[in-house]
A and B are shown apart, each in its own frame.
Chain A
């Protein structure tokens, strides 16, 4: 596989040489809006250390690091104000529709078709990522694969993966692999407590609930041979009202049970009512809600978002969490995490199917980066050079070593890949299961209303059915008004 990577590197270098570098050496500054976290911080640092522009000029990458909680608002405000500050933007995949329709994100289809190196990169990217991060109007992975060629004819491409993310299980090896705890768990439930990666591969939601119940301990009780000085909880996953901090997990339950969300790729025939609130979806949402009782009490407030569960885990309050790979690096940092030397990672649990296999379909995380429409030809060319540099196998491997992830299948297939970071094996396994939510401009209204209704159910104000009925009714009306449903 190393030779494949080497071959690709050679091919891309040759392609770059054949396509011809820009004639004039220019100094170019690219300002990029980026969320403030390790994957983007590394990109800036590594760019400053290694990037050499093929046009011979001096290229400066200025990253505008924006805190996650205000990232969407800051980018949206900048774009709609017309200040034209950014040449490149790290964007959530859901924003594509809003900002493509607004005329801010550049259609890169022609550029990709005209550039063999970019074409090679696109062909090597995981199709789930191309579907979620790049296409608008949205095309599913199946639709892209059906087309048989990359780029697919009639499809518009906008983004490249800056950081592909999936959620995986973070767990405490010291308690999950403790002989006494393992024996007690087996005695109580008649099944094993997952300790190794392979054990987690066989862990479904039912066992996840058992783990939650088993490890819920009060202050003064014993845990793995030690007396607890505070309450302890077995499990946690996202259940927050903000942004998409419950939708991402609820969707996994719905999809794994055979339900669906409104499918934009089948508009205008696809309906919201009857689909979003189908019996299967209600049952799946009910299952999601049923495990909250075993989670830390912050779950009862609807504020248990991805950062809160990461923090609770790092403080040693929870045995296992399901969280994004992108939040893994601080967990291993001795200065920030009490469990830095006790943590291991596995695939997220899934739903057991009739044949005994486990469906782990999940909602994709991570972000693509895009170019903006007001860039000059010189800036566009140089921005695409930056894209090629970032997605080159050697840069991707370096990024992975430093807590990033790669979207390139050839890089992920490298035998060293799984050992570069402890969550890589789980990430590679999970990425194949990924799907995405909607990409239409109205996504934020749909998301906010859905989050509100989910939050009411999470905090016990309404039932799963009432929540999904309200979501379906709202989406049906909004989508009919917007012309997405006939």
Chain B
């Protein structure tokens, strides 16, 4: 018995040895990462080469690259990519413009600045579902506030979501409303980092406002702007919740993003292998964008150094 106790104690001591403590501490995180992320990732990669359907008892057979071929030659997929590109492009540009203007406003002191700043930041703290529901009601043509306000100027109700262009605009506005404050925060960080003496020197040199902005302000914020563009592009590329709630991809399929289509393929049509192949293509695009993002971060770090 005494020997057994000492053996137990010995194992405990061996395990808690400072040399192993680091590994011991990260083991739970790595285990969770493996179980929740890496294994499903590898498993779904494997599935993408079969003809598996989660709703069927049929034994899946190996199909090689046929799922990838089918996805890449499917007109619907390319239509969804086009829709995604339009929404991403419009939304990111709008976020940049609004975020930039907000940052310029908050870079200066004014009464109640802190309270207003807090209010402006609120949208990005809300859940996607809340924002989606909020804008859906906002756009509702019978009793929604947009239609109600505009009914003072027209006999007809204003139907935002009745046309493909209107529906895309509705989604872009909702997404930009939510995420412009994020762009603002990044740009504001750049603006406050500009040394004041540069502006003083420019004033002495009687430089115009535009020249001051272009030669002093912009160089300080351009990497942060690039960061904002990339970060928001990656996020908007995966846009699902707001689209699904506001339009469900309609009218027709005119606002169905690639993320919504992927969801339908996987969880409504149960084309599990085909959706895995599509998911890997989307992942590849996101990885490329993420690398650009990391490149921008490194460049910014070099500039700061």
Contacts and interface: CB of A to CB of B under 8 A. Distances in A.
Interface of A: 72-73, 76-77, 79-80, 98-99, 101-103, 218-219, 230-231, 241-242, 296-298, 300-303, 312, 315, 317, 441-442, 444-445, 448, 452-453, 455-456, 458-462
Contact of B250 (A101, A441, A455, A462): A455
Given A298-B140, A301-B141, A441-B55, A459 B147 contact: no
Interface in B127-171: 139-143, 147, 151, 155-157, 159-164, 167
Contact of A73 (B57, B155, B161, B268): B268
B178 to A, nearest CB: 21
28 contacts: A80-B54, A98-B55, A98-B270, A99-B55, A102-B55, A219-B151, A241-B247, A241-B249, A241-B251, A297-B156, A297-B157, A297-B159, A297-B162, A298-B140, A298-B141, A298-B159, A301-B141, A301-B159, A301-B167, A302-B252, A303-B161, A317-B142, A441-B55, A452-B249, A456-B251, A459-B250, A459-B252, A462-B252
Contacts of A461: 164, 251-252, 254
A101 B193 CA distance: 63
Contacts of B248: 241-242, 303
A101 B57 contact: yes
Contacts of A315: 143
A73 B268 CA distance: 7
A297 B147 contact: yes
Contacts of A241: 247-251
Given A231-B157, A459-B252, A80 B55 contact: yes
Contacts of B156: 297
B57 A102 contact: yes
Contact of A101 (B55, B142, B167, B269): B55
A263 B247 CA distance: 31
Residue of A296, A302, A442 most packed against chain B (CB within 10 A): A302
A455 B252 contact: yes
A448 B256 CA distance: 12
A103 B57 contact: yes
Contacts of A458: 251
A300 B267 contact: no
Contact of B267 (A76, A296, A298, A301): A76
A76 B55 CA distance: 8
Q: How large is the interface on B (under 10, 10 to 19, 20 to 34, 35 or more residues)?
A: 20 to 34
A241 B260 CA distance: 14
A445 B269 contact: yes
B56 interface: yes
A296 B142 contact: yes
Contact of B269 (A103, A444, A455): A444
Interface in B251-273: 251-254, 264, 267-270
Nearest to B148: A230
A59 B155 CA distance: 61
A394 B159 CA distance: 49
Nearest to B268: A444
Nearest to B167: A301
Interface string B222-251: 000000000000000000000000011111
Contacts of A460: 162
B252 A448 contact: no
Contact of A298 (B142, B151, B264): B142
Residue of B151, B248, B249 most packed against chain A (CB within 10 A): B248
Contacts of A448: 264, 268-269
A355 B56 CA distance: 48
A278 B142 CA distance: 35
B57 A302 contact: no
Nearest to B267: A73
Instruction: Give 10 closest A-B pairs by Cβ, nearest first.
Output: A456-B252, A459-B251, A297-B141, A80-B54, A297-B157, A300-B162, A301-B161, A241-B250, A102-B55, A296-B142
B251 A301 contact: yes
Given A303-B247, A455-B250, 12 more contacts: A73-B267, A76-B267, A77-B267, A80-B55, A242-B248, A296-B141, A298-B140, A298-B142, A301-B141, A448-B269, A455-B252, A461-B254
Contacts of A102: 54-57
Contacts of A99: 55
Contacts of A300: 141, 159, 162
A76 B269 CA distance: 11
B252 A453 contact: yes
Contact of A218 (B143, B155, B167): B155
Contacts of A77: 267
